[in-house]
């Protein structure tokens, strides 16, 4: 996974709450292999005239600033593939679907959670000055909008480490193999009914 | 020294911690891993890394998302869809996993099949690459949906890194009125707390109205926890759960069952357990519900009118309401009971169990549907039990189609789509734009309400049809 450290890029505002993963990646594309180019499927059915992602003023956007509950709904990781393959590295919103946010972190897509009024102000600035850039500094946990104000954001330290270092967490987990083996041995005695067919 | 009172969630969480990091992340042991056709990305990841499935005996593959609802004797016409079904079989076969395929007598939607087969048990940690995995919490399991990379992690390690979620208790006391179902209850919860109201939380549903629900009703409630943004939903296991489990094919037997029940009885939240957030609802206030917009949080009593964005003070929120009304083809102030529908769908992991089909059939017995519709049972066993009771005859005589089990028109990827611009009364869980097909308009409701809409051709308060 590509590490995420700092990013300065144009940002595109999307004034829509509850953007679900069906909108990000319509279900009919779920059977496509990743090599099919998931970026082409991003917001496929929302691409109507006036949709900000198609506005040339926001060309080259790598940061998406949206509204509450971004990425709610289905657990499809393809929604993250569509954003990443479509060029995005960061989404800013007042809240995220939990599964989406977990999937994003596994694919080098940073989700930044900021208060609702702060995110609304960012969207207004981007609407007023289309093509303006936003800077994200993950180690410093800081985001700077078009108005030059540095905003600090919270992030889970584990998620931050994985993103900054581009870690594959299976490799990390396998360092705990002895603990997993020990858990399994103890649990087999404590709850023998867990494995079907042993009872 | 008295132990600190713990909630059901805390007991299950604590019992599965394999390791913790100084930053608070916990490595959780996973007891059940369910896979469906969408797992091909995850198999690709472990195959690419040369990893094996660590616990094949805890891993189960189920064909549900892409299976056709037409007769199983006919081949799947679309080669890309057929490939999804055969790819799952090949991946399961190569890794030695139990596979419930297209022709298996237990086949069904994974969230219907697993409880029915006795794979879902109290106190287990259960994951699946599907957000409606929250369903299994109805038995007091900690069950949640994960993405493809996490699926590959569970395949390889039978564990997951998780941060301990917050807890929320939703207490619903009182008695639900006539024709007010578990579906109406959970829609009322989502409308009350919002589509992200439980983000970062595990919900425990409690109170007399929850305890009075059948297992089927509890599964419906926990199923839609994700539509309130919850990580998972749980209900304390009790005798209703234990007797439901006993004797099912994969459930523990004999002395082992007794030993398991003894343990399961220790799981309910202790008196004095503390939750990060408490929400209470009165069952008597809950009415048969329908949604008017493109988020489940837009559920309202069917007797209500379409809301007016003009009355909304926040301009962004008003704009979002207008966008939803535009998509749904509705005008502010219109009575919902006057909204004409084009078709009905009765099915999905939310509402395709025997009790759901009985409720729909009770409305349609002796009536004709005035719009087309599809009824898809949740599993082959549900289908057979329904047929033994003659429920299929009720649906067919009413003019509806009776399908083979699967996810079908809830997500539309097997080819069962609501045509663009059509309005569907649906017992499913999501009314998102395009969910049932591009430009399809979905109104969520209970099976009895969908059946009532079929009979009248518009959104209908089932209480007014005189069904006993």
- What tokens does B440 get? 């399809």
User: What residue in B sits closest to A162 (Cα-Cα)?
Assistant: B161
Question: Please, which pLDDT band fits residue A172 given cuts at 50, 70 and 90?
Answer: confident
Contacts of B245 (CB under 8 A, 6+ apart): B118, B121, B139, B251
With an 8 Å Cβ cutoff, are B229 and A98 in contact?
A: yes
With an 8 Å Cβ cutoff, are A193 and B319 in contact?
A: no
* Cα Rg of chain B, angstroms: 22
The string of DSSP letters for chain A reads: -----EEEEEEEE---SS-BHHHHS-GGGTTS-GGGTGGGGTTGGG--TT-GGG-GGGTT--EEE--SSBTBS---THHHHHHHHTT--EEEES-B-HHHHHHHHHTT-EEEE--HHHHHHHHHHHHHSTT-EEEEETTTTEEE-TT--EEE----HHHHHHHHHT--HHHHHHTTHHHHHHHHHHHHHH-GGGSTT--
With an 8 Å Cβ cutoff, are A196 and B118 in contact?
A: yes
With an 8 Å Cβ cutoff, are A179 and B18 in contact?
A: yes
- The CA distance from B347 to the nearest CA of chain A, in Å, is 18
| H or E segment and range at residue B375 | strand B373-375
Both B219 and B350 in one domain: the answer is no
Contacts of B460 (CB under 8 A, 6+ apart): B302, B337, B449, B452, B453
Question: Please, which pLDDT band fits residue B115 given cuts at 50, 70 and 90?
Answer: very high
Strand order in the sheet with B423-426: B401-402, B373-375, B343-346, B423-426, B441-444
* pLDDT of A198 strictly over 70: no
* pLDDT of B444 strictly over 60: yes
User: What residue in B sits closest to A30 (Cα-Cα)?
Assistant: B38
Residue in this structure with the two tokens 């028109």, named with its chain if needed: B409
Asked if residue B453 is part of any domain, the answer here is yes
The predicted structure's pLDDT at residue A169: 80
Of A31, A107, A170, the CB nearest to B157: A170
How confident is the model over B173-201, as a mean pLDDT? 98
Calculate the average pLDDT of chain A: 95
With an 8 Å Cβ cutoff, are B412 and A28 in contact?
A: yes
Q: Which of B230, B257, B277 is the last residue of a domain?
A: B277
| Structural domain total, chain B | 2
Where in chain A are the domains? Answer: 6-167, 168-199
At the fourth CATH level, the homologous superfamily of domain A6-167 is Aconitase, domain 4 (3.20.19.10)
Both B247 and B102 in one domain: the answer is yes
Asked if residue B55 is part of any domain, the answer here is yes
User: What residue in B sits closest to A94 (Cα-Cα)?
Assistant: B196
Residue A48 touches chain B, beta carbons under 8 Å: no
Q: Which residues of A touch B411 (CB under 8 A)?
A: 27, 74
Of B19, B80, B131, the CB nearest to A99: B131
The predicted structure's pLDDT at residue B49: 93
With an 8 Å Cβ cutoff, are B195 and A69 in contact?
A: yes
* pLDDT of B1 strictly over 60: no
- What confidence tens digit (pLDDT) does each residue in A111-169 have? 999 999 999 999 999 999 999 999 999 999 999 999 999 999 999 999 999 999 988 78
User: What residue in A sits closest to B253 (Cα-Cα)?
Assistant: A199
Q: Number of CB pairs < 8 Å for A and B?
A: 189
Strand order in the sheet with A90-93: A110-113, A90-93, A63-65, A6-13, A133-137, A142-144, A150-152
With an 8 Å Cβ cutoff, are B433 and A98 in contact?
A: no
* Distance (Å, whole) CA A63 – CA B422: 35
* pLDDT of A48 strictly over 90: no
How confident is the model over B185-195, as a mean pLDDT? 98
Q: Which of B236, B257, B277 is the last residue of a domain?
A: B277
CATH number of the domain to which B422 belongs:
3.30.499.10
For chain A, how long is the longest CA-to-CA vector? Answer: 67
- What dihedral do alpha carbons B124, B128, B132, B134 form, nearest 10°? 20
- What confidence tens digit (pLDDT) does each residue in B284-336 have? 999 999 999 999 999 999 999 999 999 999 998 999 999 999 999 999 999 99
* pLDDT of B228 strictly over 90: yes
Asked if residue B302 is part of any domain, the answer here is no
The predicted structure's pLDDT at residue B248: 98
- The CA distance from B300 to the nearest CA of chain A, in Å, is 18
The predicted structure's pLDDT at residue A197: 79
User: What residue in B sits closest to A1 (Cα-Cα)?
Assistant: B149
How confident is the model over B446-463, as a mean pLDDT? 98
* pLDDT of A171 strictly over 90: no
How confident is the model over B25-37, as a mean pLDDT? 97
Of B150, B229, B323, the CB nearest to A69: B229
* Distance (Å, whole) CA B96 – CA B424: 41
Asked if residue B222 is part of any domain, the answer here is yes
Both B218 and B111 in one domain: the answer is yes
Q: What angle do CA B257, B259, B260 make, to 5 degrees?
A: 65
Of B29, B49, B229, the CB nearest to A183: B29
Both B265 and B350 in one domain: the answer is no
User: What residue in B sits closest to A191 (Cα-Cα)?
Assistant: B260
- What dihedral do alpha carbons B380, B385, B390, B391 form, nearest 10°? -70
Query: What is the percent of chain B with per-residue pLDDT over 70, rounded to a whole number?
Result: 100
Residue A158 touches chain B, beta carbons under 8 Å: yes
Q: Which domain holds residue B235?
A: 8-277
Q: Which residues of A touch B161 (CB under 8 A)?
A: 158, 169, 173
* 3-state DSSP assignment of residue B372: coil
- The CA distance from B3 to the nearest CA of chain A, in Å, is 20
User: What residue in A sits closest to B255 (Cα-Cα)?
Assistant: A199
Both B271 and B343 in one domain: the answer is no
Both B82 and B178 in one domain: the answer is yes
Candidates A134, A163, A137; CA nearest to A152 is A137
- What confidence tens digit (pLDDT) does each residue in B352-408 have? 999 999 999 999 999 999 999 999 999 999 999 999 999 999 999 999 999 999 999
Of B147, B250, B294, the CB nearest to A75: B147
* pLDDT of B2 strictly over 80: no
Contact B232, B135 (CB under 8 A): no
Calculate the average pLDDT of chain B: 97
The residues with which B270 forms a beta bridge, in sequence order, are none
- What tokens does B458 get? 């518009």
Q: Which of B243, B259, B277 is the last residue of a domain?
A: B277
The predicted structure's pLDDT at residue B435: 97
* pLDDT of A104 strictly over 70: yes
- What confidence tens digit (pLDDT) does each residue in B94-113 have? 999 999 999 999 999 999 99
The predicted structure's pLDDT at residue A133: 98
Question: Please, which pLDDT band fits residue B264 given cuts at 50, 70 and 90?
Answer: very high
Contact B32, B127 (CB under 8 A): yes
Asked if residue B424 is part of any domain, the answer here is yes
In A61-80, the residues whose Cβ lies within 8 Å of chain B are 67-69, 72-78, 80
- What confidence tens digit (pLDDT) does each residue in A19-39 have? 999 999 999 999 999 999 999
Contacts of A131 (CB under 8 A, 6+ apart): A10, A57, A58, A59
* pLDDT of B157 strictly over 60: yes
Asked if residue B227 is part of any domain, the answer here is yes
How confident is the model over B436-464, as a mean pLDDT? 98
| H or E segment and range at residue B162 | strand B159-162
């Amino acid at each position: 996974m590509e590490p995420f450290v700092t990013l300065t890029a144009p940002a595109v505002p999307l004034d829509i709450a509850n953007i679900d993963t069906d909108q990000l990646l319509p279900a009919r594309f779920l059977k496509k292999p990743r090599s099919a180019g998931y970026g082409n499927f991003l917001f496929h059915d929302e691409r109507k005239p006036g949709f900000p992602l198609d506005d040339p003023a926001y060309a080259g956007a790598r940061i998406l600033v949206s509204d509450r509950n971004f990425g709610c709904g289905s657990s499809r990781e393809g929604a993250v593939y569509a954003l990443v393959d479509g060029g995005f590295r960061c989404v800013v919103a007042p809240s995220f679907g939990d599964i989406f946010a977990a999937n994003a972190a596994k694919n080098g897509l940073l989700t930044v959670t900021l208060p609702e009024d702060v995110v609304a102000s960012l969207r207004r600035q981007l609407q007023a000055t289309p093509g303006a850039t936003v800077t994200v500094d993950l180690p410093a946990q800081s985001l700077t909008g078009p108005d030059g104000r540095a905003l600090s954001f919270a992030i889970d330290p584990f998620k931050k480490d994985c993103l900054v270092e581009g870690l594959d967490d299976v490799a990390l987990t396998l360092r705990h193999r002895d603990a997993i083996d020990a858990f399994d041995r103890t649990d087999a005695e404590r709850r023998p009914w867990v494995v079907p067919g042993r009872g | 020294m008295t132990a600190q009172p713990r909630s059901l969630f805390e007991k299950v969480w604590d019992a599965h911690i394999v390791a913790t990091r100084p930053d608070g992340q916990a490595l959780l042991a996973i007891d059940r891993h369910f896979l469906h056709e969408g797992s091909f990305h995850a198999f690709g990841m472990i195959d690419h890394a040369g990893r094996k499935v660590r616990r094949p005996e805890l891993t189960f593959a189920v064909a549900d998302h892409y299976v056709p609802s037409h007769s199983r004797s006919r081949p799947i016409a679309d080669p890309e869809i057929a490939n999804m079904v055969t790819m799952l079989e090949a991946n399961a076969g190569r890794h030695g996993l139990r596979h419930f395929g297209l022709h298996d007598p237990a086949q069904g939607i994974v969230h219907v099949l697993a409880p029915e087969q006795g794979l879902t048990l109290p106190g287990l940690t259960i994951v699946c690459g599907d957000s409606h995995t929250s369903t299994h919490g109805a038995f007091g399991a900690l069950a949640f949906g994960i993405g493809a990379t996490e699926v590959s992690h569970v395949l390889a390690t039978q564990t997951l890194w998780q941060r301990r979620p917050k807890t929320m208790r939703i207490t619903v006391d009182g008695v639900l009125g006539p024709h007010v179902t578990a579906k109406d209850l959970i829609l009322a919860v989502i409308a009350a707390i919002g589509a992200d109201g439980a983000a970062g939380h595990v919900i425990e549903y409690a109170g007399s109205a929850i305890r009075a629900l059948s297992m089927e009703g509890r599964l419906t409630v926990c199923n839609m926890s994700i539509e309130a943004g919850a990580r998972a939903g749980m209900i304390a296991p009790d005798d209703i759960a234990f007797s439901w489990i006993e004797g099912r094919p994969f459930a523990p037997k004999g002395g082992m069952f007794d030993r398991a029940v003894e343990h399961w009885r220790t799981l309910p939240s202790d008196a004095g357990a503390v939750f990060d957030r408490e929400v209470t609802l009165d069952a008597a206030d809950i009415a048969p519900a329908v949604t008017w917009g493109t988020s489940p949080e837009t559920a309202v009593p069917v007797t209500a009118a379409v809301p007016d964005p003009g009355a909304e003070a926040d301009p962004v929120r008003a704009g979002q309401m207008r966008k939803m009304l535009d998509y749904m083809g509705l005008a502010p102030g219109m009575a919902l009971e006057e909204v004409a529908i084009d078709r009905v769908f009765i099915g999905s992991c939310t509402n395709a169990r025997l009790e759901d089909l009985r409720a729909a059939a009770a409305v349609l017995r002796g009536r004709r549907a005035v719009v087309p519709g599809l009824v898809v049972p949740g599993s082959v066993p549900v289908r057979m039990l329904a047929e033994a009771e003659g429920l299929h005859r009720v649906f067919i005589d009413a003019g509806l189609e009776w399908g083979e089990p699967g996810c079908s028109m809830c997500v539309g990827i097997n080819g069962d789509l609501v045509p663009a611009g059509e309005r569907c009364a649906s017992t499913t869980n999501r009314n998102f734009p395009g969910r049932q097909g591009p430009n399809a308009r979905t109104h969520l409701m209970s099976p009895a309400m969908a059946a009532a809409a079929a009979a009248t051709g518009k959104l209908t308060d089932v209480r007014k049809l005189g069904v006993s």
